Amino acid sequence: MSVNAQSGDWLSRIQARLDQPYARVLACDPVNPSMIRHWCEAHGVDDPRYRGDVGESSDAKLLAPPSMLQVWLQPGPSGWRPEGSAQVDATEIIRLFGEGGYTGLVGVNVDQEFVRYLRPDERLYSVSTLVSVSDRKVTGLGEGYFFTVRQDVFTQDDEKVAVLHFRQLCYVPRESS
């Protein structure tokens, strides 16, 4: 397997991104009851917090499931992002590995820390940073690189509400080796 073993320009471009935060990506929608309900329905979740009926008054009691964190920040099928949002974030790294022939992608670890639960109408933004890239490794899937992206998530008032670390592997699929 000798896909760009000389490691070309794409690898130096990846390494140049280390510890350089990308510009903020804005959530397409504010935290809202409809998307929360759709998520609960899809996963069989029946939790009074996500229906807003915890406590005596149901108004303003609704919370968003912490596991929806990334849902708020996903682009839609068209890739649309709101005005003022960066169009490029650390997912760019996957494209750069692809340029080097490392077109296979698999998630390895996801670590999430939630500072607090979110409420309707909060509007999130995230800042992603490439925090580590391994040396080239031989894995069960093929030869590849492990890399970790940190995502810091804030509300519109710059309050940090969550931190996520996602470790992935980009590898050369066997068919093309």
Partner 1 sequence: MSSALSLHFADICVGQSLPALREQVTTSSIVASAIATRDFHPIHHDLERVRELGHSALFLNIFASNAYVERFVSQWAGPEARLSKSSIRLGAPCYAGSTLRIEGTVSNVGEVPVRWVEVEIRAYGNEAVHASGLVRLEWP
- Report, in Å, the least distance between residue 29 CB and partner 1: 9
Q: Which of residues 22-61 bind partner 1 (CB under 8 A)?
A: 35, 38-39, 41-49, 54
Q: Does 131 bind partner 1 (CB under 8 A)?
A: no
Among residues 10 and 39, whose Cβ is nearest to partner 1? 39
- Report, in Å, the least distance between residue 162 CB and partner 1: 10
**Distance from C-alpha of 8 to C-alpha of 12, rounded to nearest angstrom:** 7
- Report, in Å, the least distance between residue 170 CB and partner 1: 15
Q: Does 117 bind partner 1 (CB under 8 A)?
A: yes
Nearest to 20 by CA among 96, 111, 131: 131
- Residue ranges in contact with partner 1 by CB under 8 A: 35, 38-39, 41-49, 54, 65-68, 70-71, 74-77, 106-114, 116-117, 175
